[in-house]
Amino acid sequence: MKIARLLLFAALTAIPVLAVACGGDDDDDADNGSATAPATATATEKPSGSITIYSGRGESLVKPLFEQFTKDTGIAVKVKYGDTAELAALIAEEGSKSPADVFFAQDAGALGALKATGAFEELPASITNLVPVTYRADDNSWVGVSGRARVIVYNPDLVTAEKLPNSVRDLTSATWKGKVGWAPTNASFQAFVTGLRQLEGEDGAKAWLEGMVENDVKTYKDNKAIVSAVAAGEIQLGLVNHYYLYGFLKDQGEGFKARNHYTAAGDPGSLVNLAGVGILKSAPNEVAARAFVQYLLGEAAQKYFSEQTFEYPIADGVAADSRLKPLSELQPPDLDLSDLQDLQGTLSLLRSTGVLK
């Protein structure tokens, strides 16, 4: 049944059905430890009943947030947890009979894939106005609720700041031969390569991947393993999401031998991806679902993402962790995040270049 669902969804939207077998969702939900609930917030609406959420974000990460939402609003929450791609496939299979009110996705590509099927309702201005236009669908069918930036993590004892590369393109040079790590089975890396294909074209992305392989790039199981390897001096640089470092710093202190480096404005290596939500057109409790999405964009929930998971809050007016480069200064590449849905094509490219076996 699981394979049938994924094949069905692939036929409809070209979503990355093989990504599940190659690492599934990003591993951030397991890396930052147990999160605690946000401070109580006063809800602006008091709708009744319950909502069902299909969540591609891990239970240990978002369960405290869901519980606090229920305490603050009185709205009961039923949650089906799973891989983002698999849950999106399930929604497509269920169609108008889906019990889900809300899809909480790990990445914008899955949201874009369901957007293409017409599964989501158009969100009201009371919700979309809370989010910068860059971080919501062009038709207001979904909104981002937290962001993660791609960075190069480096060991400051081995690489001085002035020698850090300005672009991921520089990593294929002899300077970095055998000194860089990546995690090609990781969903966040695959989303990065999907973005690279959009920006550089198939030939450009293929050339970069082949150049990295020829330059003896080191392969790790996930982002956390890369950060550990950098700090241990096994490699000098690694391609990861920004927030992994801060989990290590929280546990091991500022003496931990790794720091983040942001590449130049517009560089493929400065991609910012999102976790986001959409409300299904078939939602049994649309009013309560809207209250939930608005809650995620409220101050308490946005601070939760900032302080507990070290992600970027997306709603206007909530600051990120002071150690992070401000989101407004990141200047990611000009890319519609909904276009990151073709991970199946990315997996084919990763296999043809020998990155994935």
**CATH classification of the domain holding 77:** 3.40.190.10
- Residue-wise pLDDT for 240-263, tens only, equals 999 999 999 999 999 999 999 999
**pLDDT range class, residue 37, cuts 50, 70, 90:** low
Pair (196, 297) in one structural domain: no
Residue range(s) defining the domain that contains residue 78: 2-147+274-326
Pair (32, 124) in one structural domain: yes
How many CB atoms are closer than 10 A to CB 63? Answer: 18
Average pLDDT value over all residues in the chain = 88
Pair (170, 30) in one structural domain: no
**How many angstroms separate the CA atoms of 213 and 21, rounded?**
22
Q: Which two tokens stand for residue 246?
A: 């801060």
Total domains present in the chain: 2
**How many angstroms separate the CA atoms of 82 and 49, rounded?**
24
β-strands 180-182, 102-105 pairing: unpaired
Pair (263, 200) in one structural domain: yes
Q: Please say if the pLDDT value at position 227 is more than 80.
A: yes
DSSP-assigned beta bridge partners for residue 241: 150
Q: Do 76 and 304 form a contact (C-beta atoms < 8 A)? A: no
Pick the residue with more confidence: 120 or 7? 120
Q: What is the mean predicted confidence (pLDDT) over 206-229?
A: 98
Counting every residue written for the chain, the total comes to 357
DSSP-derived letter for residue 237 is E
Pair (18, 141) in one structural domain: yes
Report the pLDDT value the prediction gives residue 31, as an integer from 0 to 100: 43
Pair (254, 298) in one structural domain: no
Pair (143, 7) in one structural domain: yes
Pair (162, 109) in one structural domain: no
* Domain annotation covers residue 339: no
Pair (155, 74) in one structural domain: no
- Residue-wise pLDDT for 59-97, tens only, equals 988 999 999 999 999 999 999 999 888 899 999 999 999
Q: Do 213 and 267 form a contact (C-beta atoms < 8 A)? A: no
Report the pLDDT value the prediction gives residue 196, as an integer from 0 to 100: 97
* Run of H or E including 147: strand 143-154
- Residue-wise pLDDT for 268-289, tens only, equals 999 999 999 999 999 999 999 9
3-state helix, strand, coil in the chain (%, to 5): 45, 15, 40
Pair (310, 217) in one structural domain: no
Pick the residue with more confidence: 287 or 7? 287
Q: Phi, psi (5° rounding) for residue 324?
A: -85, 145
Pair (34, 82) in one structural domain: yes
Q: Do 288 and 51 form a contact (C-beta atoms < 8 A)? A: yes
DSSP-assigned beta bridge partners for residue 21: none
**Phi-psi sector, 133: left (phi>0), alpha (psi -120 to 50), beta:** alpha
* Domain annotation covers residue 335: no
- Residue-wise pLDDT for 167-214, tens only, equals 999 999 999 999 999 999 888 898 899 999 999 999 999 999 999 999
What's the pTM value of the predicted model, to 2 decimals?
0.81
Pair (75, 157) in one structural domain: no
